[in-house]
Structures are given as structure tokens and as C-alpha cells.
Amino acid sequence: MAITGWQFIDAHGTFRLPDPHRSSHLYFPLANEAGMASSITPTLNGDAKIDHNTYLLLPTSIDDLHNTRSARNFWVRIDGIHVWSAAGGSALQTVQRLSSGGDEVTLTAGFLWHAVTRKNTEHGLQAEITSFVPAGDDYVELMRVTLANTGEELLQLTPTAAIPIFGRSADNLRDHRHVTSLLHRTTCHPNGVLVRPTLSFDERGHTVNHITYAVLGVGADRAAPVGFFPTVEDFIGEGGTLDWPEAVVASGEMAKAGDSIDGYEALGGIRFADVTLAPGEERSYILILAILDQDDSPEDLLDRYGSEADFADTLERTKTYWIEKISTLQFETGDARQDGWLQWVAFQPTLRRIMGNSFLPYHDYGRGGRGWRDLWQDILALLIMARDDVSGMLLGNFAGVRIDGSNATIIGSQPGEFKADRNEIARVWMDHGAWPLLTTRLYIDQSGDLMFLLREQSYFKDHHISRCRRTDPLWSPEQGTQLKTEAGDAYQGTVLEHLLVQHLTAFFNVGEHNNILLEGADWNDALDMADERGESVAFSALYAGNLLKLGELCQLLRDEGVQEVSLAAELLPLLDSLGTSVDYESVTDKRKLLQTYFGTVEHTVSGEKIGVKPDDLERDLSRKGLWLAEHIRENEWITNSEGFSWFNGYYDDDGRRVEGDHPGGVRMTLTGQVFPLMSGFVPDERVDEVVRAAQRYLYDESVSGYRLNTDFGELLVNLGRAFGFAYGHKENGAMFSHMPVMYAYSLYLCGKAEEGWKVLQGIYRQSLDFARSRMYPGIPEYFTDRGRGVYPYLTGSASWYLLTLLTQAYGLKGELGNLILEPKLTAEQFDPNGRAIVHTLFAGKKLTVTFENPNHLAYGSYIIEEVTLNGESILSTAGAKKVVIGRERITALPDQVEIVVTVSEVRQAAGRKPA
């Protein structure tokens, strides 16, 4: 059977996919910013919840999507004889799905709305089911089921909605599933079924429950249902199942409004009045799936959503809301399909802010919320897309930094909210200290707000000290989670001080090869079994580059007239260039100095601050950064027996170098190459060598991209669980989107635009190949060895893809608040008319930037010939690859700014002077 992929049907990201029910593992997110989060499949499987402990529908993992029968459903009994599911959820339709017969099905979806049209040609009946979560504050998922007679005869229909209500914590899926059903108190409301358990019964203990789970239904002209099936047991009947229920097949006995039943698995079973449809006639039903707090009422929801007009109006407002959200970054590539795909990539960071790394079928782990790394990487997209000032959010995140350089691992739902670890999980990801600087520097460049570095914030404090190697016996939860001074006051330091703490502690926290210790893991969470002797050369390189960047920021502060920076007195010994210099070649001396520092900040700090000149800070940071960069260049550059050279990225827990030749085959990681390149200390000739080696050992055309590592061929319990995974999956050699995208970013930084674009375009091409990827538009976490895109929507690679495309390929970025135009577009990125267009925000203005390359010149063979700003020529220069437009010039313009950048071959502009 030929496989047809999705196609966009408008300019707003709406796509259509035929036969979606014939592809496994497809699901779609529905959510709002209040916290309602649902997933839905072409057969209406999936769940709905507001957090880990409050699931309206049965929690679903990826394999549950085809295993479980507990799904949203809408049954129709036709002419009193034939039974048909408008959702495709009957036993008969499941069999037909595997053949060429059965229903004709089409999916149409847009930003957080989902519609499935299903046509039964045998009986001339069509159903369209539209689902979405309204933008706003309600914990509600809405469904509209429209039945239409597409035949030539009258149809007598008996409609029945059937939505199983789980109504408790995800923990109870396996822990006391039956016992917790005994807590259910189920009532038949005039418009549906309400379930209010007496208790919440989970790991938090036994607490009185105040949540009501509801499934409400409304017929045409707000008609109430005629009866109810409030329990699964009575609906399916003895020997029945949810995909062939007795209540539908044999018209079982119904409950009526006001009836109640206690202690059973609940069902939002709603029978609507029989209806006769003439040919061409249709009838719609509205279903409201809701989670209600004690102050909420079903009547309020029925008033807001309980009619076709209400549903249609709310759907349009929700569509407009989300389209506006992503309208701040749009690309016009000349390929409408790629433009639409990029809109979905741009939407993914928003989904991650709502759902964190949990609550979708592949993401069946965690208890909601985001990780530390996610906080910073998601802001990357915000900084190039958000209309609002994000400095408050950025500042709030620094409250999660500990004074020992580690950070909180339990992150609350509110900005800047961090919680003490009550689970005794003593784990440090050694890369966590590096990300805040990258995000902060982007913020400063986009905004020009250099003084952000001098804003103050508290530090996080709990019982973990010395980078989670020890515990503080003097700390108790009653003392709160802010670091205190000896006098008992909450201590605050500047953002710059927080960044210094993260980087200075990392610099001295070295293993026996003088690279920074791997500790619990780095970006690759699955390198988690080398916490004693393991070292991450890869992220040592990032820290090296960051130390140099911190030094540059100190110079900029000096240039702005800052005479001194106040720092905690305890931090001064780590700035060893300002006092007794430490021999950086001595692992012992570095470790000793760090332990001394840990000893001074175990429970409190003195509160004393010392003024340090920015020049002195810059000198110390540069010395450290340069030393570490040179150390990596000299000691971790390897050449194998085939003559290929690259950087070793790791040492294992036996202190052995991981990469290079090995009896089982060549071992190479992509991560080990990305961060030396990104940090800017690799000579051009070595960049070429890295590219050659990555192409030889890591590139795989079958997945259109670079694998995370070669096949190491064995379980490595001295490095990480990754090597227990099958090769080609997850962190063991998958085409794991995040790292290839960062590789592309690094290649652009090194002037390798063609190579960088190849990486970005490869991910797009693989996603587009629906016969293999089997995914909706967007970037997945990774592609399997078979090319399937898995773990879609909630991946940090989306933020990095957008950042790379906008700031590197299109070359549109900030530099201390000024606008930089430095295109690195390849010839193929221009449309047939020689144009590449991007719409974005900068300095509060809506920019449309058009790059004109009428001769389709390749990158490297063109220079910027002319720039116009709202029609006014502002530059005509010889040989410029980069143009700076002052922020004040942009802020003085109207809200809509048109910039046209014309490029020409270098020789054509020779001899011309700046205008």
C-alpha cells in the first residue's frame, strides 16, 4: 500500500494526512498554558491530565496507544442493527484497519487542534470529530462529533459517547488500581457523569480529595442526554469489552440524572436521543472533558462551551491565540512545505514549557516539570520569539544555583521556583553550569542589557553540599531553600557572581587527566556510570570557551565604566591569579583548592564581599580558559590507524580514554567534536579533520544525519547505561537531533556553512519522509535505526534549530543590542527568484528581512553589496560579510521594519566605498 505523507493546506501550519490510522505510534498534543495537557491519536486514544496526580483519562505510554481499549469513543447504532465507532474504536474496525477495506479516514490538524473525518461508505455515514483544549484557564478538553448522512437513504441513529474516567494519580495505574476505584463517588448529572473520589491515595499519603472529574454532553440545540452509563462494568456487560460493549450492541439498561454509584471504575457513558438523518443532513454533539476544582461547577462549563456556536467560537479564538504565538518567527524559503514545518519547530519550545519532559506517550517518565538544562535552552527560543521581556524569568532561574556550583534538580511550576530534594537523589550533571552563560550572553546581545550581570539573586540551599558528595548535617527543611549568611540573612550575589561560581568550581573539579569530572553525567544523561574517575573532555571544552566569554564580559563592563564588581569573599581563592597562583598542571593542587572552598561554604557564607576590578577578573578567567583550551588541543587530539583525526570526548570510570581505535571497531562521539568547535579554539585545519572524521564514522545516509556515536559493540558499565541500549536508539548511536543541530551551529561558527546546512536539511528531509519517519511535522528527539521519528514535540533540539537557522544561516542576531546582518545562506536556500525571507522580532520591532541573491551565488563567493532600511539605502560597501545596524536606529522606526540585503559576487563590488 502506497504511503502518503502529510501536506500543509494553508499558510498557518494546518496539515492534512490521509489514512492516519494505518500508522502506529502517531499522537498529537492538546494543551493550554493553565496546565491542561492531553494527547490524542487518530483513533482518539491518549490521555488527559493536569499533573502526575490528576489524570482524567487513563495514563498512556507509547505501547498503550495500540494495546489499550480504554480510549475516547463515540458509538453509533445504525438502523437499530449495525454498530459503528465514529472514532474507529470497534473490534470490527480494528480488523478492517489492517486490510485495504474499512473506513476512509483523514486527519486535519493545526496548532493544538485535531480533527479526524471518518466515512463509512457501506452505510453512507460520516463522522468528523474535532478536539482541542481551549486557550485560557479551564482544565477542559472539548470534542465536537458531527454525524452526516452521505448516502441516499434515511438513517436511524442511536448515538452514545463512551469515555472511561480514570480519575486519580498515575501512580495508581499499577499501585492499588482496584483499591483506588473504591474511592470513586460517581453521580449522573443531567448532562453527564461526575466522579469525585473521596481521597487522593498515592505517594503523598491519604488526603481528602477536592477534585471532580467530569464528562459532559450536549446534543443539538443544547438538548440534554436521555441516559447514562456511569461504570465500565455495566457498559461493557458480562463478557463484553470496551471495543464491543453490550450497552451499544444490545442496548443495555441506562441510569438517569441523579443516580449515583460508588466504588467502581467510572465511565463517561452518555446516551443521546435517537435521531433520523435525511440524505445530506448532519447533527453535532458537544462533549466536555473536564477536571474541576471545588470552586468550579459543571454548569459554568456548559454555559461557556455547551453549544455548537460556543464550540466554534472557542475553537477560532484558540486557533488565533496559538498562531499569534508563533507568528513572531516565520521563514519564507520558497518551499511552502518547509515553511510550514518550520512553524511547527517554532511551536515546540512552547509545548516544552507547558509539558516539560513528561505527559506525552513517549515521554512516560518523570512527574512533570522541566530539568535544569531545559530552563536555559528553552529561553533561547524565547529570546528570538517572545514579545515580552524575559529578563525576569532569566534572573529567576539563577536562584537555582548552589554556592558549590551545582544546582537544584527539582524545579517547580512557577518561574524561579526550586524545591529541596526529598528523594535523596545525589546526582550532579557536570554540564549544568555551562548553559546559563550561553543563554545570558544571547540575552545581552539581543537586548544590550549588559548591566543584567550586576543584578542580584539568591542561591539555592538544601542538604547537598560539595557538589552532592556530602550532606550538611546542620540544614533542615524548616530553614528554607535560600543560602544564608552567618547572621541568618538571605545571601544574594550578582548574576556575574553566580556564573563565576559555576565556572570556577568546574575548572578545579578535575579528574586524573586534568579534564573536568563527568560526575553523574553531562548532556548525555545516559553516561551515568563513571562518577568516580570519568571525565568529560567534551564539556571541558565548552567550559574553556565559556571562561573566555566571561572574561570578555568583564572587559565590556570595564568599558561601560564599572570600576569594581562585588564578590563573596569565599570565592576569591578560586580567582587564584589575583593571589597565590595554582599550578594548573597539578591535579592535586586544583582538587585541594576546591575542597578548601567547599569547606568555607558548607552551611552558610560570611556575607562579606570584596570588590574586584573587571580587568583583574578578565585576566584570571582568560588565563584559565586559555590553559584549558590548550590542554585539550595538546592532549585530546587523536589520530587513528586509518589516518582520521578528531577529539577524544571522554574518559571512563577506569580512567581510560574512550575514543579512538579499539579491538571492536573505531569509537567516536559527536559530542566530543561539537564543543571544541563551538568554543572557537580549534584551528581551521583541525576543523577540516573533524568534519572528515565525522563524515567517515558518524554520518549515516539511512537516517539523513550524524549518529551520536559509533557502535561500541559492548555493554560499558564503567561509562553509562547508554551502552545497554540497542545501538541506533536513544543515547547509543541514534541520530539524536539535539547534538547534530548543535554540530550544525558549531560548523557555522567555524565558517562551514555548506556542511552546517547539510545537517539542518538532513533532519528536515528525514522528518518529511513519512513512509519512514511516521511522524507529524516537527523535530523528534531522535530517529531510530529504521528511520522512525520518536519522542516528538518535547525536545530542546527545536530551540537550537531555530537559533542556528536564524542567527547563523540567515545571520540575523544581536551584538550588545545592535542588529547584525551576517548571512551564511547557501545557494539552495534562495528561492527561484533568488530570495530568502525571514520575519522576526528585534528591539521590539517586527522585522521582515529579505536577502536577495539573484545569481544564486554560493556562500563564500558573495558579499553584502547593499542594505536598505524601510526603503532607504543605508550601506554600500566593498567586501562586507557583516553589517551592523545600531539599536537606536531601529527603535526610532515604526513597528514594521523592512530590511533588504542584496549580495553580489566579490569582484562585482570591488573598489566601492562605504556610503
pLDDT in tens, 827-863: 999 999 999 999 999 999 999 999 999 999 999 999 9
Residues 550, 441: contact at Cβ < 8 Å?
no
With the C-alpha atoms ordered 459, 463, 468, 473, is the resulting torsion angle positive or negative? positive
Map grid coordinates 479526524 to a residue: 116
| Each residue's pLDDT tens digit, 793-803 | 999 999 999 99
For the range 472-479, what are the long-range contacts, defined as Cβ-Cβ under 8 Å and sequence gap of 24 or more? 472/602, 472/603, 474/603, 475/603, 477/420
* Alpha-carbon distance values, 665 to 102, 346, 658, 724, 880 (Å): 50, 39, 12, 17, 46
pLDDT confidence of residue 580? 77
| DSSP helix/strand/coil, 343 | helix
Q: Write down the pTM of the prediction.
A: 0.96
Give one word for 300, left, alpha or beta, with left for phi > 0 and alpha for psi -120 to 50: alpha
Residue 634: CB partners within 8 Å, gap ≥ 6? none
pLDDT confidence of residue 877? 58
| DSSP helix/strand/coil, 369 | coil
Amino acid residing at 395: L
| Angle value at C-alpha 253, between 251 and 258, nearest 5 degrees | 135
Amino acid residing at 667: R
Strands (E), 437-494: 456-458, 464-465, 470-471, 492-494
| Distance spanning both ends of the chain, measured CA to CA | 62
Map grid coordinates 493545526 to a residue: 110
Residue 523: CB partners within 8 Å, gap ≥ 6? 373, 429, 431, 538, 539, 671, 738, 739
Question: What angle, rounded to 10 degrees, do the helices at 308-326 and 336-355 form?
Answer: 100
Residues 795, 738: contact at Cβ < 8 Å?
yes
Low-confidence ranges of the chain (pLDDT < 50): 908-915
pLDDT confidence of residue 425? 66
Query: What is the spatial distance between Cα 605 and Cα 512, in angstroms, rounded to a whole number?
Result: 30
Q: What would you report as the CA-atom Rg of the chain, rounded to the nearest whole angstrom?
A: 30
pLDDT confidence of residue 910? 40
Query: What is the spatial distance between Cα 380 and Cα 796, in angstroms, rounded to a whole number?
Result: 10
Query: What cell does 900 get?
Result: 533588504
Which residues is 812 bridged to in the sheet?
Answer: 821
pLDDT confidence of residue 230? 98
Residues 112, 191: contact at Cβ < 8 Å?
no
pLDDT confidence of residue 809? 98
pLDDT confidence of residue 504? 98
| DSSP helix/strand/coil, 777 | coil
Query: What cell does 650 get?
Result: 571522554
Nearest to 516 by CA among 428, 583, 600: 428
Beta strand 54-55 with 73-78 is: unpaired
Map grid coordinates 573566555 to a residue: 548
pLDDT confidence of residue 114? 98
Query: What is the spatial distance between Cα 855 and Cα 188, in angstroms, rounded to a whole number?
Result: 71
Nearest to 508 by CA among 555, 534, 532, 540: 540
Query: What is the spatial distance between Cα 283 and Cα 273, in angstroms, rounded to a whole number?
Result: 12
Query: What is the spatial distance between Cα 329 and Cα 347, in angstroms, rounded to a whole number?
Result: 10
| DSSP helix/strand/coil, 676 | helix
pLDDT confidence of residue 386? 87
Q: Number of helices and strands (H, E) in the chain?
A: 22, 49
Residues 329, 346: contact at Cβ < 8 Å?
yes
Beta strand 48-51 with 37-40 is: antiparallel
Nearest to 234 by CA among 216, 213, 248, 214: 248
Query: What cell does 260 get?
Result: 449515583
